[in-house]
Amino acid sequence: MDEQDLVRKVQAGDQDAFAEIVRLYKDRIVNYLAQFTGDYQKAVDLSQETFIRVYFKAKKYKPVAPFSSWIYAIASNLAKTELKRSSRRNTVSLEDVTSQFDSGIYSKDRPDTGLIKNLRSALDDLHPRYRIPVILKDIEGFSQEEIAKILKKPVGTVKARISRGRGYLKRELEKALHVRGEGAALKGESHGRA
């Protein structure tokens, strides 16, 4: 069944059609939100809120844009709101503190040598104005035109934000690689003296 047919059925109150939409999009939305927030549990919570809004606002959906653009726009808006809210309250996960303390590596700025960790960190530091388009393009695989519809921005703005976001990520990864290279060189020097 075509997505537009499913949406029409949801608008008419069909529970099975809504369940099918959830089945089709659940994993994609959770993955997107996890990339966006950096927190899987928060992503699950936000995805549930996304689907609640889809259900209750289905009558407002107009088929001028793909349904996927509409659902990702809802998820993006929820994630942006959550990031603003969480930035106002500075919290630390008790699990993180406990695991770092137990492993004997508790420090404010632990060295990070893994490429994935460095990328995750750089992505987390990236302002949402750039992070959202980069995730939608490079991780979720949307076209720039689709991203423009999701974000309700001109295509040129989307292209610029993707470019700036990728540039920031590249610089941060190069810095991490440079720092890691210096660390390896220092270890090599200390071994040479022994």
Q: Say if residue 68's pLDDT is above 50.
A: yes
Q: Is residue 6 part of a domain?
A: yes
What pLDDT digit, counting tens, does each position of 140-182 carry?
Answer: 888 999 899 888 899 999 999 999 999 998 888 888 777 666 5
Determine how many CB atoms are found less than 10 A away from the CB of residue 46: 24
Q: Domain for residue 122, yes or no?
A: yes
Residue 183 has pLDDT above 60, yes or no: no
Domain span holding position 37 = 1-91
Q: Could you tell me if residue 103 is inside a domain?
A: no
CATH number for the domain that contains residue 145: 1.10.10.10
Q: Are residues 2 and 77 in the same domain?
A: yes
| Size of the chain, expressed as the number of residues it contains | 194
pLDDT above 70 (res 113): no
Give pTM, 2 decimals. 0.61
Evaluate whether residue 170 is within a structural domain: yes
The pLDDT of residue 186 is 47
Query: Do 121 and 112 form a contact (C-beta atoms < 8 A)?
Result: yes
